C-alpha cells in the first residue's frame, strides 16, 4: 500500500488567516482525497483531487474556502482559507489504489483556529 | 443511497474479554465494507475489508468481521481485548461512482473502544 506523508501535523492559527496542508505519496496515484474530521465526529469528504483537472467538491464545500492543488501524481495541497474557529478540525489526506483495496490515510493535520 | 450506522459511540470491555463493535449498512448495490482504526493523534489504518469474497474476513491485530447480508451487518469482533486495542473504530461502505467517475466512501460516526485493566 502507499505511504503518505502529511504536514504540518498540527498548527494553531489566527482567525482570518490561511493554512496550506501538504500531502506527499510515495507512489503515483490517480485520485487523492481530502477529508475533515471535526471534534468527536466522523470523516467528511471535502473533495477529490485528480491530477490535471479541477478538484471535485462535495456538497457544502467550495473552492474559494478550500482551494486544492494537484500538480502531479504524488502530491497535493489543501488550503483552508480565511479561517474561523469553526474550521478547527483534523484534516486528512488519503489515496485509494482501487475501490477494492480501501483508502490509505495520512496521519492528519490537527488545526486549531483561535 | 449508501449509509453506515455504528451502534454505540463508546464501548468499554475488560482486558481479555470479547470485543464486539456493531456496524449496519444500507446499500442499493452489493457493498464493499471496511473497518478502520484510529489511534490517538494518528490517521486511519485499514483493519479489514469485505469485497464480495468470503463472508468472514480476518484482519490485522486479531480482528475479524462477518458480512451478513440478511442482517445488513458487518460487526467487528476480537476474542480477547488487549490494552493496545483502545482506539476509535470506523466502519465504512463504498458508494457507487459519482457522475465524475470517482468512487468514495461513507464513514460511520465511529466507536471509541476503552479497554479496562
Cβ of B43 within 8 Å of Cβ of A42? The answer is: no
CA angle, residues A25, B59, B96, in degrees to nearest 5: 65
Between A102 and A25, where is the model more confident? A25
- Distance from the A1 Cα atom to the nearest Cα atom in chain B, whole angstroms: 10
pLDDT tens column, A41-71: 889 999 999 887 889 999 999 999 999 999 9
Q: Measuring CA to CA, which residue among A37, A61, A46 is closest to residue B38? A: A37
At residue A99 the predicted structure's pLDDT band, cuts being 50, 70 and 90, is low
Looking at every residue in chain A, the average pLDDT score rounds to 91
* Cβ-based contacts of A70 with chain B (< 8 Å): none
**pLDDT (tens digit per residue) in A75-95:** 999 999 999 999 999 999 999
Instruction: Confirm if B24 and B38 have CB atoms less than 8 A apart.
Output: no
Q: pLDDT exceeding 90 applies to what percent of chain A?
A: 72
CB atoms within 10 A of CB A114: 9
Chain B residues with CB inside 8 Å of A53's CB?
none
Collect the ranges in chain B with pLDDT lower than 50: 99-100
Given this model, what pLDDT does residue B111 score?
96
Residue A102 reports pLDDT greater than 90: no
Identity of the residue in A42, A50, A94 whose CB atom sits nearest the CB atom of B90: A42
Q: Which three cell numbers stand for residue B111?
A: 466507536
Is B46 in CB contact (< 8 Å) with chain A? yes
pLDDT score of B17 = 98
Contact of B96 with B1, CB cutoff 8 Å:
no
Q: For residue A103, count other CB atoms closer than 10 A to its CB.
A: 27
Query: How much is the pLDDT for A51?
Result: 81
Amino acid at each position: 500500500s502507499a505511504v503518505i506523508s502529511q504536514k504540518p501535523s498540527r498548527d494553531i492559527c489566527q482567525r482570518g488567516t490561511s493554512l496550506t496542508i501538504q500531502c506527499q505519496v510515495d507512489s503515483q496515484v490517480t485520485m487523492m482525497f481530502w477529508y475533515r474530521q471535526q471534534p468527536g465526529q466522523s470523516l467528511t469528504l471535502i473533495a477529490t483531487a485528480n491530477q490535471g483537472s479541477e478538484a471535485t467538491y462535495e456538497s457544502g464545500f467550495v473552492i474559494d474556502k478550500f482551494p486544492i492543488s494537484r500538480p502531479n501524481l504524488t502530491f497535493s495541497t489543501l488550503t483552508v482559507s480565511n479561517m474561523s474557529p469553526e474550521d478547527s478540525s483534523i484534516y486528512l489526506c488519503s489515496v485509494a489504489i482501487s475501490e477494492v483495496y480501501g483508502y490509505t490515510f495520512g496521519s492528519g493535520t490537527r488545526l486549531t483556529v483561535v | 443511497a449508501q449509509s453506515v450506522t455504528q451502534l454505540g459511540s463508546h464501548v468499554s470491555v475488560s482486558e481479555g474479554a470479547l470485543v464486539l463493535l456493531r456496524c449496519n449498512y444500507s446499500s442499493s448495490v452489493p457493498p464493499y465494507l471496511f473497518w478502520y482504526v484510529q489511534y490517538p493523534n494518528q490517521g486511519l489504518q485499514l483493519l479489514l475489508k469485505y469485497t464480495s469474497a468470503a463472508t468472514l474476513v480476518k484482519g490485522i491485530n486479531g480482528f475479524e468481521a462477518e458480512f451478513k447480508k440478511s442482517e445488513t451487518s458487518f460487526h467487528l469482533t476480537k476474542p480477547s481485548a488487549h490494552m493496545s486495542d483502545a482506539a476509535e473504530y470506523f466502519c465504512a461502505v463504498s458508494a457507487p461512482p459519482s457522475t465524475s467517475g470517482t468512487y468514495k466512501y461513507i464513514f460511520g460516526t465511529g466507536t471509541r473502544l476503552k479497554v479496562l485493566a
